[in-house]
Structure 1
């Protein structure tokens, strides 16, 4: 099939950027003719929390040579929208898979959705929902209204939708009143692109000793990073002296409790805090150096970090949210605790520590859905759409 994927560019590099690249490459590897439209400049730069690193190009992943890329559309440049329309007309995709993660780009996505009719295309439009409603956008009234109005307008123009979990699917139904039979669940695909660096060299480079807990990814309030620090602070001193907590990721500043928790920590010298964008080449080193990955989310519709961790075979400690339980249900290295419970999280950390003391470094087999299976699932969904149209 001719498939077009629409997602975020590498200029504002994020998990969606990585996912767009990996998905496009996966479809191409299975023999499809793939094109990509990238949303390049997403918002006015002064509004973006990570503006210092925008456009620096600190990534190693890229599209396959046989993937045709338009890079890209800018939030304030209608000329770039017109060029995207011409690109779509030339590619004439049978299916468009558009990623939704923020309402800030909905005006560009509405233009692309309208291009199907303006160009006379018969493309099916599938919206893959990475986030139902962004928590930060929900807190600001004008953005919340814009998000709901723009989001519903976009969703009305789609032929189908995908979610990464049943929990996210139900949230989509409640929030947008979508028909249940038009939403399919397709798990988040694994990130197997990083490889596995030498553990010893990675730990030496980071000056690590003892048991190492990694919390990786964008720092947001809903990800519970301050909760993890509180749990680490309550570990008995004899254990903490042989442990490190590494927190690495871009800090968007809405977790206002995090820095006070760090400042009052009795184990501040055992906490490595790197509130910065982590270049692609450093990501696998962080995971190789760690003994367990802790992701104490308070809510989530899915996590790309989880899929880096399981692809690396790392033990994972995370909250017992439905989405996390669903995506890790067959993964032997997953340990859960009640969301928001500091004492339970501390106990899980201590259990992981004792397991490390007794058994050494643990690795587990990835059991989730492969990208080949994800592509097949999309093929089945598209075939069902064809049959409904014929019927």
Structure 2
């Protein structure tokens, strides 16, 4: 099958670019001919308050990648669609509604002629966690324009069906697609003494509940925290909350994107990764923690609880509930528990997840 994937790839950073690239590699390994259509300018800078690109690739770039799409060139969107008319399948990787005008331009260029390519929206989020007034009409229009959608949870599938009742929607869990740590999997030491140190990792946005974690941390003694990642709306509100809770000496902030080479050291110093999300669709961070031999403390938001085995390799609590998270932290730090939970951690076998994912993407 001749397949075009339209989405971010290196030099764009983060999970979306990793996923798009890994998907291209996997489809080629399955015997398909794949072109990856990426961006030279994906978003206006005022819509993304951080660094959009990186200078060195993380993982193996896909060789047949074109970087011609730009948010400010609608003529390029239509030309791309026309050029893809000879393909069997065109996959639009949707990370934000900001991409949708370009995707509608590509769809227009593809046309509706008989025998043309099947058009699928691969939605990491059907709608953003923090929504703008234009998000719903844009996503509804895109879904109605496609031949189908692939989403990453049952909740997201229902949301897509509500927006576009006539559009077929398939569901497959988001498979692991992040680079393996240098040297392979981290060695787990079951009887290691806990460091009394936790990690919050990744982009800091309100829906991820860092403020809930800080309030819970203030209720327990002698545990420290590193927060490593870009701050979506700036770091000052978080600094003020830390000071108001008396946590200045216990919380280290590392604002900014964390390069892949720095990730193993961050996880090596942590007893657990904490995911205090208020809402979630799918996250690679559970897989990343397990790849580094680290247990997870997470809320039951979205699909997070599907990947954490309570009392085996992590601890679960209720979302947006500081009291529940405080209880989870106390349970995690019960005598002997950090080492026992660490011993239960196993890296995720991504192969069956990818097999199902490709089956769903390619099905009609």
TM-score (norm 2): 0.86
Is residue 178 of structure 1 aligned with residue 165 of structure 2?
Answer: yes
> Residue in 1 aligned with 2:60?
62
Over 3 Å counting, the alpha-carbon distance change for 1:179 and 1:325 in structure 2 is farther
> Residue in 2 aligned with 1:166?
154
Q: Secondary structure at the match of 1:215?
A: strand
Deviation of 1:327 (Å): 4.3
> Residue in 1 aligned with 2:177?
191
Deviation of 1:188 (Å): 0.7
CA contact (8 A) 1:197 1:284 kept: no
Deviation of 1:329 (Å): 6.0
Note the aligned Cα RMSD (angstroms).
3.1
Distance in 1, Cα, partners of 2:45 & 2:178: 31
CA contact (8 A) 1:3 1:95 kept: yes
> Residue in 1 aligned with 2:87?
93
> Residue in 2 aligned with 1:7?
7
Q: How many residues align?
A: 358
For residue 341 of structure 1, the aligned residue among 308, 312, 321 is 321
Q: Any idea what the Cα deviations from partners look like across 1:306-327, whole Å, max 9, x if unmatched?
A: 2322333421111112422234
What runs of 5+ residues in structure 2 fail to find an aligned partner?
187-193
Deviation of 1:231 (Å): 0.8
CA contact (8 A) 1:4 1:96 kept: yes
> Residue in 1 aligned with 2:18?
18
Over 3 Å counting, the alpha-carbon distance change for 1:119 and 1:39 in structure 2 is farther
Q: Any idea what the Cα deviations from partners look like across 1:101-131, whole Å, max 9, x if unmatched?
A: 2111111111122232278762111212111
Distance in 1, Cα, partners of 2:227 & 2:329: 15
Is residue 228 of structure 1 aligned with residue 213 of structure 2?
Answer: yes
Over 3 Å counting, the alpha-carbon distance change for 1:198 and 1:2 in structure 2 is closer
Q: Any idea what the Cα deviations from partners look like across 1:315-369, whole Å, max 9, x if unmatched?
A: 111111242223446994132101111122122222222345664853512456x
Is residue 35 of structure 1 aligned with residue 35 of structure 2?
Answer: yes
Q: Secondary structure at the match of 1:167?
A: helix
Q: Which has the higher helix share?
A: 1
Alignment of 1:1-391 (within 5 A): 1-50=1-50, 53-65=51-63, 68-81=64-77, 84-85=80-81, 87-89=83-85, 92-117=86-111, 122-138=116-132, 144-145=133-134, 147-174=135-162, 176-179=163-166, 182-195=168-181, 210-236=195-221, 240=222, 243-253=223-233, 258-328=238-308, 332-354=312-334, 355-356=336-337, 359=340, 361-366=342-347, 370-371=350-351, 373-379=353-359, 382-383=362-363, 385=364
Distance in 2, Cα, partners of 1:45 & 1:267: 33
Over 3 Å counting, the alpha-carbon distance change for 1:10 and 1:228 in structure 2 is same
Distance in 2, Cα, partners of 1:228 & 1:278: 20
Q: Secondary structure at the match of 1:191?
A: coil
Distance in 1, Cα, partners of 2:177 & 2:320: 27
CA contact (8 A) 1:7 1:38 kept: yes
CA contact (8 A) 1:196 1:312 kept: no
Q: Secondary structure at the match of 1:246?
A: strand
What runs of 5+ residues in structure 1 fail to find an aligned partner?
139-143, 201-208, 386-391
TM-score (norm 1): 0.81
Distance in 1, Cα, partners of 2:294 & 2:157: 27
